[in-house]
Structure 1
């Protein structure tokens, strides 16, 4: 199979599996004409083409604990649920080659976003709109492309290490829409540099406000930069861009007065004031047996029963299945919305708190942390936190990130970026169907494998160790 056809197979899978082929191939469809700028607006308004991100990281984190025998049996007994249990157990193969579930929908969805973004970025200059219109649409596409690559590099490549990022394998970096380019993996540093460059280039033409949270704004780009630099361990820039995002959007949902959450008293994801850019886990909400997300005992101890995130967003196991025990995350079921994976106001506040803590400014770190926490407890139960040392402050900030971002990739990404810091090093252990699985700090399993199906089509796509 020659390179041209290998690439086509890769790109076709990415487009078709995410339902975006008709947009990726807009030149050949006849309904959307490339030289009409308005059609790129229609493409960017297509939520399904840009909002989905990979979901493997949601299941691998220490906050999940699937220990009910019936749930374990249901997950391992069905090929369709295999990706859940395989990622949960940090397996070397997530999507077995030669089976009906050999493709990785997360990889495909993220590269479909890249392809749709590239279509816009590359074709807009020749369209008929004003320069301001074209710049604005290009800026949105740049943010979506940056977010896709940030997700890809933190799912299928090693954690960022400043000493080795320039030689460590990242992911294929596709910046133009073509079926004749190599799928060799760019270095991690190259991919991160592209993410930063895309976001910086986008900011001037982005709007200050957005009609819906699915459409990028200046705050979205600043938030993505803050997240990116935090993952790169560049704390000065992480704090800088978190501040810029918070200057534009700083509203936090106040849970202190709520006794329950419903679709009528909690904002929808598309207009939730906390969300800077809406992104959702592939496959949507996981609120039913056997794929509902069960909270680990460690996480429950950390959260405590007075926290409104416990009271409002979790339910007893019996609400999911009469054969399960413990407690499950159920925010999605309560409000009828899939959990947000995109950048948010709380994330910016906690990035700001971590940056202060690492700089030794304990007072400012706790002020930033408590500004969020006061909205997460009833007034009678709220007690502001105080830090006694840098390590104490950092621990409190990371713990708060766990509480706030349960069931999203953020916890897994934190485990990856912190695994070499003595303060946070830990060996994790799970027992699943009688087999013990272990994740050590130096394990290669902090990086998900690339599906063999993709490598079979594209042999130059090197596998992770």
Structure 2
């Protein structure tokens, strides 16, 4: 029997789109023979089937602040942007059942990634290649699957809390292809356990690095584990895996070497800072009306001497007429969708946070400054110092905001830090004359599962 994998992906996406619980067993006539290992290499090389992450995180984070009437009017004028406004204002419903945009394309795209991974993991053992080749391809698929579940659990489930993770609602945990499979949500703990198992079991068969950042490697798996453990509040393990990742990949781009008109900034696929390339669903958000207007608080943190300000932000007039303030511009500066996958700077700041939380302010600032040295022109650089471990931790979190604005992780940080007194804050924003509030104990830190999905699958429990 022959299988057309393009048809598989399209069929899977359509069925997930409809919320069908039987999408996990799809066979279609076509051109690629499933018992040939090389065909699974071709499938993995189709990066569009594995690179997608949700795009909701940046809308909800405090990095952006939509205040221009022109942008608000444009975003409010089309049902297509309802999910953007709903996530920006922390609404209980993002996708209204029965509307023209009732489907959560972020959920669908991530589960399509998981389906592709499951196809490889489940079918490859029966193919005709060498065991070494099969193990390597299965390992790549496991890294992609782990990344998909890590982003999904940080969107649609509560932040990891060791005391409640065993009972907190997680996600439908789909790892095998069967005729029918339950969409009942596994616990948050079960999801994280699956992520860790996928990554640790993948490591032995992966190469240290790959020719392209879209292909998982040992460095990728270590970096994903470091990210995973950070969001489990397990800072020792996060630091350990960050070390392992940095032993294989540790180059930083020197932003002092670029100007606002530079055209040679490295592309995502070959950027030495990128450990595993991942992009947001829907592509670039750098144009009207979806461009990110940066909050005054973030801009104050950045300061005008920082090359991240000079290269990756622009005046509102550059974006469009009626736009004021400063806007996120990295996507247009680089010429492609931003990377939200793990990176060298992320590993460095994970290590800095580990030291700060272990009463070692000096080493925390050492890692922060190793990054900052590459973020300023020599004449503008001043080493950062901390007066205490608590002060060091504050500075590490602030540096994470400077480094990752517009790239997903600020919302993840807001979620994990909301229970720590030093970082607790009630957020407010006003949109079209209505003020919205996000309190530290709010259920709105968890994105709602689309009503249409739950109507088709009653076992898929709603978030509070």
Instruction: Please classify the TM superposition score into its range, dividing by the shorter chain length.
Output: over 0.9
SS at match of 2:28: helix
Q: 1:25 to 1:179 in 2, by over 3 A?
A: closer
Q: Name 1:364's counterpart in structure 2.
A: 363
Give the secondary-structure state (helix, strand or coil) at the position aligned to 1:431.
strand
Partner of 1:272: 271
Unpaired runs of 5+ in structure 1? 1-7
Q: How does 1:10-409 map to 2 (within 5 A)?
A: 12-13=12-13, 27-260=27-260, 262=262, 264-409=263-408
**Higher alpha-carbon deviation: 252-261 or 72-81:** 252-261
Uncovered stretches (5+) of structure 2, i.e. residues with no partner: 1-7
Q: 1:269 to 1:208 in 2, by over 3 A?
A: same
Higher alpha-carbon deviation: 234-243 or 24-33: 24-33
8 A Cα contact 2:24 2:181, kept in partner:
no
Give the corresponding residue for 1:5: none
Q: What is the aligned partner in structure 1 of residue 436 from structure 2?
A: 437
1:233-274 deviation digits (Å, cap 9, x = unpaired): 001000000000000000000002322254x31001001000
Residues 222, 241 of structure 1: 8 Å contact kept: yes
Contact kept? 2:345, 2:371, Cα under 8 Å: yes
The 3-state SS of whatever aligns with 1:268 is coil
CA gap 1:261/1:255 in 2 versus in 1, 3 angstroms? farther
Determine if contact 1:71/1:289 at 8 Å carries over to the other structure: yes
Deviations for 1:57-106, whole angstroms, at most 9, x for unmatched residues? 11100010001111111111211111111100001110111011000010
In the other structure, the counterpart of 2:5 is: none
**Against the structure 1 CA distance between its residues 11 and 61, is the aligned structure 2 distance closer, same or farther, given a 3 Å change threshold?**
farther
Alignment deviations for residues 256-312 of structure 1 (CA, whole Å, 9 cap, x no partner)? 2322254x3100100100000000011111111111011000111111000000001
8 Å contact 2:165–2:189 — kept in the other structure? yes
Distance 1:429 1:71 in 2: 18
2-structure distance, mates of 1:442, 1:356:
28
Cα distance in structure 1, aligned partners of 2:453 and 2:11: 10
Conservation of the 8 A alpha-carbon contact between 2:16 and 2:111: no
> Residue 271 of structure 1: SS of its match in structure 2?
coil
Measure how far apart 1:345 and its partner are. Answer: 0.3
- Please give the alpha-carbon distance, in whole angstroms, between the structure 2 residues aligned to 1:261 and 1:122: 48
Distance 1:418 1:212 in 2: 34
TM-score of the aligned structures, taking structure 2 as reference length: 0.95
Q: Give the Cα separation in 2 of the matches to 1:302 and 1:386.
A: 15
Q: Distance between the aligned counterparts of 1:379 and 1:387, measured in 2?
A: 21
| CA distance in structure 1 between the aligned counterparts of 2:461 and 2:253, rounded to whole angstroms | 44
Deviation at 1:17, TM superposition (A): 6.0
Is 317-326 or 423-432 further displaced after alignment?
Answer: 317-326
2:75/2:81 contact within 8 Å kept? yes
Work out whether residues 26 and 32 of structure 1, in 8 Å CA contact, stay in contact via their aligned partners in 2: no
> Partners of 1:14 and 1:296 in 2: how far apart?
37
- Tell whether 2:423 aligns with 1:427: no
Q: Is the 8 A contact 2:102 2:452 kept in 1?
A: yes
Count of aligned positions: 452
Distance 1:26 1:35, change over 3 A: farther
Q: Is the 8 A contact 1:219 1:249 kept in 2?
A: yes
Compute the displacement of 1:14 (Å): 5.8
Q: C-alpha deviations, 1:363-411, integer Å up to 9, x for none? A: 1110011000000001000001111111110110000111111112200
**Residue 29 of structure 1: CA displacement?**
2.7
Q: Is the 8 A contact 1:15 1:109 kept in 2?
A: no
Partner residue, 2:3? none
Deviation at 1:12, TM superposition (A): 3.9
Q: Pick which of 75-84 and 145-154 moved more.
A: 75-84
Following the alignment from structure 1 to structure 2, what is the Cα–Cα distance between the partners of residues 279 and 411?
16
What is the rounded CA distance, in whole Å, between the counterparts of 2:132 and 2:24 in structure 1? 24
Superposed CA offset, 1:13-56 (max 9, x none): 466769xxxx9888423211111101100110011100011111
- Mapped to 1, the partners of 2:291 and 2:458 lie a distance apart of 36
Gap change, CA 1:292 and 1:32, over 3 Å in 2:
same
CA RMSD of aligned residues (A): 1.7
CA distance in 1, matches of 2:120, 2:104: 25
